[in-house]
Amino acid sequence: MGGDITKLKVIIIFILTLIAAMAVGQEKLVIYTYDSLLPLANEAFQAFEEKENVKIELHAVGDAGSMLSRIISQKEELDVDVVIGVDNILAQRAFEEELFIGYLPPNAEKITDTSLIFDPFWRLIPYDYGAIALIYDPESFDTLHVKSFDDLTREEFKRSIIMQDPRTSSTGLAFLTWTYLLHKDDLCNFWEKFKDSILTITLGWGDAFEKFEAQEAPMMVSYATDKAYSMYNYNEAKYEVLIPGGKGYVQIEGAGIIRWSNRKEKAKKFIEFMLSDDFQKHIPLTQWMFPVTNVELPEVYDYAVKPDEILKAPANLNIEALINEWEKAIY
C-alpha cells in the first residue's frame, strides 16, 4: 500500500513538472477588446491556443470606444499585441495615432463582400458587421407609426429611449453617424428635439442592454439582428426592430496588430485565424452580427432585419466636430 502511494506521488510530481514545462515553453498573445466579445472568445479562442501553442491573455475594457481611448492614452506602456473591435468610424482615430501595422492575411479572399474592407492598407481587418437600429418592446406600444427619426421626437416618445455615449461607445458613435447621414446640416436642430426622447445615455452597449432588459425604457439603440436574438433566447419576438424610413447605417468591426507588439508573427497568425471558419462560425450566435466570410448562418437569422437602403459615411467625416455638435445640442 505504501509503495502504491509512493508511486502515485511520483506520477503526480511528473505530471505537474510536465505541465509546468509546457507552460514555460508556451508563448502568450495579449489581446485587448470590448466586454461583449467575451462570449465569442470563450467559444473560439481555445482552438487557436491549441493549434499555435499560445496562451491568450485577454483584456476586455468596456465598450470599444473606451478601449481605444485607453490604448491611445497609454500606448507603449501597454503590453498588447492585437486589438479587436475598432470599427469603421473609430478607425479614423486609430489611424491618426498610428497604432497598427498593415498586414494583408493570406486568406483575405475569404471576405465575401469587398465593400466591407474599410482600410486599403489592411491596418484593420474586418471580421463582422451589422446594421444599427432601434429596438423596442412591442407590448409598450399599441401601434408604432414611425416613418422617420423626426417622428421619434413626438411627445409619446418622451424619455423612452436608452442610447450609448458616442464619446465612449462605438455603438453610440455609429448611431450619431447614422443621424448625421440623415440630417446633415440640420443635425444640431434634430438633436435638440430628440434629446427629450432620451431617458439615459450609457457608457456602452452592455449597460444599455441591461437597463433595457430591466424595462427601464421601452426602446434602445442597438442592432438589427436583435429580433433574431430574441427568437433564439426567448422563442418569441420579445424585441422588435425599427429602422426609420428603411435607411440604415452598417457598422463594420475590425481587428489589427499593434505597432509596438513584440509578438507580431503570432499576432499575424491570429488575424488569419479570425477569418477562418473556426472563428467566423461563432460570430452569429455570440456577437449577433454577420460574419464576413461565407459560413452558414443559423436559421434564426431569418428574423434579422436588413435596411432597404444602406447609408455610407464619407471617408473624411470629421468625428471630433460631429461629437462637438452633439454635445452642444444635448447639453
Amino acid at the residue 324: N
**DSSP for 195-249, written as a single string:** GGGEEEEESSHHHHHHHHHTTS-SEEEEETTHHHHHHHHHSS--SEEE-GGGEEE
pLDDT value at residue 5: 47
If we measure between CA atoms, which residue out of 145, 148, 98, 163 comes closest to residue 124? 98
pLDDT above 90 for 99: yes
Q: Looking at residues 244-250, what average pLDDT do you find?
A: 95
Give, for 164, the enclosing helix (H) or strand (E).
strand 161-164
Q: Looking at residues 245-269, what average pLDDT do you find?
A: 97
pLDDT value at residue 291: 98
pLDDT value at residue 242: 96
pLDDT above 50 for 110: yes
**Which residue has 463594420 as its cell numbers?**
252
Residue 157, phi then psi, degrees to nearest 5: -100, 10
Return mean pLDDT, the chain.
Answer: 91
323 CB-contact burial (10 Å; exposed 0-12 / middle 13-18 / buried 19+): middle
Residue 230, phi then psi, degrees to nearest 5: -60, -45
175: helix, strand or coil: helix
Torsion over CA: 259, 262, 268, 273 (sign): negative
Q: Which residue has the higher pLDDT, 209 or 315?
A: 209
271 contact partners, CB below 8 Å, separation of at least 6: 82, 103, 105, 125, 255, 256, 257
pLDDT value at residue 8: 45
Quick one: pLDDT band at residue 17, thresholds 50, 70, 90? very low
213 contact partners, CB below 8 Å, separation of at least 6: none
Alpha-carbon distance of 271 to 301, in angstroms, equals 26
Quick one: pLDDT band at residue 149, thresholds 50, 70, 90? very high
Domains of the chain (ranges, CATH numbers): 2-129+252-298 (3.40.190.10), 130-250+303-330 (3.40.190.10)
pLDDT value at residue 25: 60
Amino acid at the residue 186: D
Burial 222-243 (b: 16+ CB within 10 A, else e): bbbbbbbbbbbeeeeebbbbeb
pLDDT value at residue 185: 83
Summarize the chain as % helix, strand, coil (round to 5): 50, 20, 30
Tens digits of per-residue pLDDT, 59-69? 998 889 899 99
The answer to whether 309 touches 246, Cβ cutoff 8 Å, is: yes
Length in residues, the chain: 331
